[in-house]
Amino acid sequence: MADPDFTGLSCPAPLRDHPQVVLGHGGGGALTHELVTHVFRRAFSDPLLDSLGDAAVLDVAAQLPPGGQLAVSTDSHVVRPLFFPGGSIGDLAVNGTVNDLAMSGARPLVLTAGFILEEGLPVGDLVRVAEAMAAAARAAGVRIVAGDTKVVERGRGDGVYVTTAGIGVVPPGVAIDPAGIRPGDVVLASGTLGDHGMAIMSVREGLAFESTIISDSVPLHGLVAAMLAACPTIRMLRDPTRGGAAAALNEIATLAGVGIEIDERSIPVRPPVAAACEILGLDPLLVANEGKLLAIVPAEGAAAVLAAMRRLAQGRDAVAIGRVVAAHPRLVVMRTAIGATRVVPMPIGEQLPRIC
Amino acid sequence: MKHLAEYRDADTAGRLAADIRLLVTRPWAIMEVCGGQTHSIIRNGIDQLLPAEVEMIHGPGCPVCVTPLEVIDRALEIAGRPDVLFCSFGDMLRVPGSRGDLFRVKAAGGDVRVVYSPLDAVRLAREHRDREVVFLAIGFETTAPASALAVKLARAEGLRNFSMLVSHVLVPPAIAAIMRSPGTRVDAFLAAGHVCSVMGTRQYAPLAARLRVPIVVTGFEPLDLLVGIRAAVAQLEAGRHELENAFPRAVTERGNEPAQAVIAEVFAPVDRAWRGIGTIPGSGWRLSDAYREFDAEARFGVADIATAESALCRSGEVLKGAIKPRQCPAFGRECTPRTPLGATMVSSEGACAAHYHYGRIHG
């Protein structure tokens, strides 16, 4: 008797018709494979990803000039809602890690992406997230070369969590070092503060304002490259994400053991963001940004850096907001609009809306 | 935003401060009643513009600060129950009770939600009919109308799963209690503009006459505060003690009468304990007898929870203006915004927290 022929056999259960993520999508079997093929590989379309090896193998030598260094960073993203005016968790996942790399002066090369999906997540939403990541990666000139997917039970996640890790190249000669910070150095902001946090909060809390507040999520490494070209001795760069500018400036002051003095009137805040902060009793200095940076630059280079920043879209509204001082080490002090001074504290935890 | 910039103009602020310097001939202590005013004074550095003779004393007007410990403990007890969805204004979540705060209840599995309006709590009650939805109703006369409306709405919709833990407080009895307390240093009051926009100014004229103290209804922007302070100093220097409305763009003599009517229907006056101060007769509102069925204390049987305050904390004296935050031995040591012993260190409007955050460079 001839051996039975299984080659024409296929399971009648349609694998791709799940409109929502099911636990099996994280099981490592056919469902996982389908999700990877139809969602991630299609969106990210990278030959390294298509090789489906356990690791992406990179030819670093070709990318790394003599004296250059590798920068590595990782960032996890949890945000509710997943989609908001100006972006989505997909944009944040790419730009977050790209910007973390950029703050060390690095040009990002590749990213990896880990997804934790909640059972029940509409597959259509996941496709939108993946496409947003792909678009953000293209805009940033970075490849997504490896990934992983897990699924947790319904009720044990917030739809999707995305963790990205990235590798970038720091060109030779770039040494961003807070140890070089001196009194007299200038504090620059690349643009308006508080946009991202208030965009999220106004959607999350169902607060409607006259004009929609748009998240500022963008990649910043191009801006950083232009700044470094204008002044290679930039002391420090920080992207003021969680905790806002207040946390970033306090970190810098503590790290360098210096005082920082900023001027309230020079801090750029869009009118709708300022109005939303007033209504909720929040301080724009404490609100998150996703496409802005703060820079400490030597006084003699400040004008050139500002000019270079303003030539690019990401730095169009760049301004000097303050300076490094020898007085009050490790404190950030603000000259208020009416000409008095106050300390800008390190935020403790969540900013809480005030009662009245 | 145009209006914000107008009331924060540095040149006008400088001119008002110069007026005050010209007026003042001797030391005066002025208490701003409202926590929002304290916040604005410290955040903008208004006290630094004033002459040394004018001392601002931060009053008991932060509702978060004066909510008694036992109310927090009752809130913690209710919020920890598995059948309860507990709603609160955001800054109450970090206020320490004697066994942690609402954040910890939330972390331990309690369903605690921040709402911006009591009406959001009613909506949650509508959406979760199988859960007990409880709103922590705190605040002065400013927030009371919204609380009252929420209760009325819940009744109209037949939401039997909605209730309220009420700890509303009133400004005029607090002003009277401060003036009558031994050793008070207050020479004049800035009354809270928001409260007066609801209640009007009628209650304050007899109070100023009876207590022989100037009361100036004042707003919250830097220039509003400086105008209020200037009016108070002018009265003090002239030996007058009258009610004055320095916030006429928001406050009228009669106030918001529909809001007053809904308060009168839903709430009734009650003696209320103020954290760190003690019980002040007639200084709070409870649910009126007609609305008692919405009382969370009765529904959850927590009315008998009573709690003692930290022995180290001197927030009561801070609230009465008897000492400055820095004069408390625990300030900045045992008691910081991360480890608050008393509520004045908790809210961003609390006098101790404001000093801790914003005052450090001025010693």
Residue B241 near residue B186, CB atoms below 8 Å: no
Owner of token pair 């926009």: B197
Q: Please state which CATH class domain B2-62+173-245 belongs to.
A: alpha beta
Q: What percent of chain A has pLDDT over 90?
A: 68
Interface mutation vs chain A, best among B226, B346, B357, most A CBs within 10 Å: B357
Chain A positions touching chain B (beta carbons under 8 Å): 205, 207, 265, 271, 274-275, 278, 280-281, 328, 331, 333, 336-343, 345, 348-349, 352-356
Above pLDDT 70, what percent of chain B? Answer: 96
Task: Pick A338's closest partner by Cβ from B143, B222, B360.
Answer: B222
Question: What ranges do the domains of chain A cover?
Answer: 23-170, 178-343
More confident residue, A18 or B159: B159
CB contact under 8 A, A354 and B347: yes
pLDDT surpasses 50 at A14 = no
Q: Does domain A178-343 have CATH number 3.90.650.10?
A: yes
Q: Choose the mutation target among B37, B39, B43, B117 for the interface with A, i.e. most A CBs under 10 Å.
A: B43
Residue of B nearest to A345 (CA): B357
B139: nearest CB among A331, A352, A356: A356
Euclidean distance between CA atoms A159 and B247, whole angstroms:
49
Q: How far apart are CA B140 and CA B63, in angstroms?
A: 7
* Yes or no, beta carbons of A339 and B63 under 8 Å apart: no
Would you call A353 and B116 a contact, using CB atoms and an 8 Å cutoff?
yes
Average model confidence (pLDDT) for chain A? 90
List, for residues B230-245, the tens digit of each pLDDT value.
Answer: 999 999 999 999 999 9
Q: Please check whether residue A241 is in contact with residue A96, taking contact to mean a CB–CB distance below 8 angstroms.
A: yes
Chain B neighbors of A278, CB-CB under 8 A: 4
Q: Best of A262, A265, A282, A342 to disrupt the B interface by mutation (most B CBs within 10 Å)?
A: A342
CB–CB of A342 and B337 under 8 A?
Answer: no
Residue spans per domain, chain B: 2-62+173-245, 65-170+255-300, 315-362
A355 neighbourhood in chain B, CB within 8 Å: 63-64, 89-92, 138-139, 143
pLDDT above 70 (res A12): no
When CB atoms are compared, the residue of B48, B63, B94 closest to A355 is B63
Distance from CA of A349 to the nearest CA of B (A): 9
Angle CA(B272)–CA(B307)–CA(B312) in degrees, nearest 5? 100
Query: Between these two residues, B3 and B353, which has the higher pLDDT value?
Result: B353
**Chain B environment of A336 (Cβ under 8 Å):** 43-45
pLDDT above 90 (res B61): no
**A chain contacts of residue B48, beta-carbon cutoff 8 Å:** 340-341
CATH, domain range A23-170:
3.30.1330.10
Confidence at residue B2, expressed as pLDDT on a 0 to 100 scale? 58
Which residue of B46, B338, B349 is in closest CB contact with A338? Answer: B46
In which band, very low, low, confident or very high, does the pLDDT at A210 lie, cut at 50, 70 and 90?
low
Interval A265-301: pLDDT, tens: 999 999 999 988 888 888 899 999 999 999 999 999 9
Is residue A73 scored above 90 in pLDDT? yes
Interface predicted TM-score of the whole assembly (ipTM), two decimals: 0.76
pLDDT at B119: 95
pLDDT tens, B128-185?
Answer: 999 999 999 999 999 999 999 999 999 999 999 999 999 999 999 999 998 988 878 8
Backbone angles phi, psi at A341, to 5 degrees: -130, 155
Determine which of B11, B44, B198 to mutate to test the interface with A (most A C-beta atoms within 10 Å). B44
Which of A39-43, A95-99, A105-109, A207-211 is the least confident region?
Answer: A207-211
Please tell me whether residue B163 adopts helix, strand or coil conformation. strand
Helix, strand counts (H, E) of chain A: 11, 13
Residues 6 or more apart in contact with residue B35 via CB below 8 angstroms: A356, B58, B61, B62, B63, B64, B65, B347, B349, B350
**Which SS3 state, helix, strand or coil, does residue B360 take?**
helix
- C-alpha torsion B219→A352→A318→A328, nearest 10: 80
Residue B264 in this model has a pLDDT that exceeds 60: yes
d(CA B246, CA A138): 58
End-to-end CA distance of chain A: 87
Residues B34/B61, Cβ–Cβ less than 8 Å: yes
What confidence tier does B310 reach under pLDDT thresholds 50, 70, 90? Answer: confident
Give the tens place of pLDDT for each residue, A236-273: 999 999 999 999 999 999 999 999 999 999 999 999 99
In three-state form (DSSP H/G/I as H, E/B as E, the rest C), the secondary structure along B263-330 is HHHHEEEEEEEECCCEEEEEEEEEECHHHHHHEHHHHHCCCCCCCCCCCCCCHHHHHHCCCCHHHCCC
Domain over B65-170+255-300 is classified CATH 3.30.70.20: no
CB atoms within 10 A of CB A51: 12
Q: Do B337 and A275 touch (CB under 8 A)?
A: no
What percent of chain A has a predicted confidence (pLDDT) above 70?
92
Do residue B348 and residue A354 have CB atoms under 8 angstroms apart? yes
Cα separation of B229 and B190, whole Å? 7
Report how many Cβ contacts below 8 Å link chain A to chain B. 100
- In the predicted model, what is the mean pLDDT of chain B? 91
Residue A354, pLDDT score: 62
**B45 to A340: CB separation less than 8 angstroms, yes or no:** yes
Claim: this prediction has a pTM higher than 0.90: no
What value does the CA radius of gyration of chain A take, rounded to a whole number of Å? Answer: 23
Residue type, A54: D
Lowest mean pLDDT among A24-28, A102-106, A125-129, B346-350: B346-350
CA distance B92 to B254: 31
Same fold, B2-62+173-245 and B65-170+255-300: yes
Give the pLDDT score at B348. Answer: 66
